[in-house]
Structure 1
Amino acid sequence: MTGRDLGAALAVAEEAARWAQRHITSRRPGPGDPEEKAGPGDWVTSVDREVEEHIRAALLAAFPGDVVIGEEAGRSEGAGPDGGEQAAGAGPDGGEQAAGAGPDGGEQAAGAGPDGADGAAAGLAQAGDGGLTWYIDPIDGTTNFVHGLPGVSVSIAAVDAGGVAVGVVHDVYRDEAFTAIRGRGARVDGVAVAAGGEGDRVGLRGGLLLTEWSGLLPWPGMYGLITDLQERFTATRVLGSCALSLASVGAGRATGAVLGGHYNPWDVLAGALIAAEAGCVVFDPDGVAGDVPMGGLGVARPDVADEIRRAWQQARARAADAAADDGATADDGATAGVPGGRVGTGEAEAAP
């Protein structure tokens, strides 16, 4: 798409996110809410579905040739051969689902890795004829929403043949919009932002790392990384929203963010683009800088990115060694050596 087209795409996404913010703040979970999806603590509410339905309709009305993939209802396309909406298969709840369901019954895009997550941004589903594929998380932080806590966002990203092109993360309760267009920088409420905020602090001392649980569980090396950074006088916070964590680093409000567990494209694509366009380094667990790694994702200010990458790698290696010593599987490395073994119950899925 041309630069002008991407500007129009961002404008539509921003307006849809603003509507979602107003709708979410005017609502509470209704009768029968919340419902469990993949397992205990993996919530969906009627408000999630209402918001996704509205955003999907707004995007397809503006761009009928595009593809929309949402967390709750899967994939739908623009006008089909009969002029009506063209969907791709029914999901487990009767909603639409893209071809190829992931292990939790959720949408799995082309190029998915063995855990159901995409191998890289380049493997994401793409619309034909130069169109965009949109990824929607109607409420990123549903658990926070259910309990009446902040840390709730709306995340909308657009992908084209060149990767992630447009990103919007709207902080619902602060009514704050983080946005980016590939190659044009990042903004918060229309004001340009750049990595190197936090009072232009240098190094990790006094910094802040953001992370998220892998569902209800820690991810391999999570405790080790937190302890390592604590010894360097860097605090850690869990916001409960992957999108907000990533966007906050781009806005200069945190030193870095590491997501070492399972997540889906709609959780991270918009936030990672915002961080990258603000000048942050985006990297995977092996320390390789890239677009949007889907098997573990870190973003950080350029001056501390290498240090955070090394600390993450070392924490993962220690967790793997501990798991091997305890006779645990590689996936159990997160809690190997922790008193009581595994923390919590249920599968390690993306934080709702």
Structure 2
Amino acid sequence: MSRTTKTLGILTTGLAFAAVLLAVTGASAQTTTSSEDWNKIVAAGKAEGKVVYYTAHVGNPLQKAILQAFTTRYGIAVESLEARASELRERTRVEQAAGRFIADVSFTSDGQAAVIDKEDGVFARHALTPNAKDVRAPFKANDLFAPSMILNYGVLINTSLVKPQDEPKSWADLADPKWKGRILSDDTRAIGGGYLWFYTTMFLGLGEKYQQAMAAQEPVFTRDQREAGRRVARGEFAMFIPFIFPDVNNLKGLPVKVLPMAEGAPYVLYGAVLMRNAPRPNAALLLIDFMMSEEAQLIWARGGHGFVRNGIEEKVPAELRAYANPKLLGTTDWRRQDEGLAAAKRLYK
């Protein structure tokens, strides 16, 4: 089935606000906003003057810096609500069901966006904004999801317990018997970093025999990733898997180091989606577009996060490039989530 485009006109203080939206009728469209329409959206967004932003990426100062940069660029204030992904999902579901339309933009992972779109129907489709054309492969903006940032994962080691000559170079190296009982791991049996590592190494990399070998290593599971780094720093464990590269900045001065692995980094792609019935749709589209801009991408990349835009790597400090642009192993597929979790529970008792 085809999609059609329509103009949403909202009259306020004598100004006609236009946001180019796509009717949700079938397969994904790649309609791009015209220059004329975009100029109208910019003017209308500035007149709206505010955007409400829900984010599951809690406590990240780089995100706050990007929102401030957006306000500086457009003069549009951002009201931000940070909460767990599950809490935000329930909040938006209840708000939409009650006809209380508060949020304009949601920042979440691509997998979560797909699930929520399919099951809850709280997101709106829209034409591609100008910065979408500069998103680099293998990432791509579509009429639902605009990529913004990548969380890349490696291995955190205690440098007092793991000598340079013993540092693991690959995920396969972790199956060496010398690491038995010395690995702290995010729980593979629940959605999170541990499951991401399990899924990518199981289905996209090293297979079931590797996972059997890793289970024999008797890793200790945790669901507190923030405390996990400090437990490694204190010497309770030799290493923690998987570890978000830029989070090592929270452990400065401690005897730890984060390592990329030869097979590549498991990753989570984050981005922005437009809320259905957004009260300020034009300001929302401006923010969605800005998060793919060079200015926003450099904030992410210079903080050690992965970037999604072409032409960024050479502008990132050399010492951060291994974190911001590592070889990628892959990410999870929400359509195989039940299969993946069942396999993790079977292999890790």
More helix by share: 2
Structure whose alpha-carbon radius of gyration is higher: 2
Normalised to the residue count of structure 2, the TM-score between the two structures is 0.29
- Structure number with the bigger relative contact order (C-alpha 8 A, sep ≥ 6) is 2
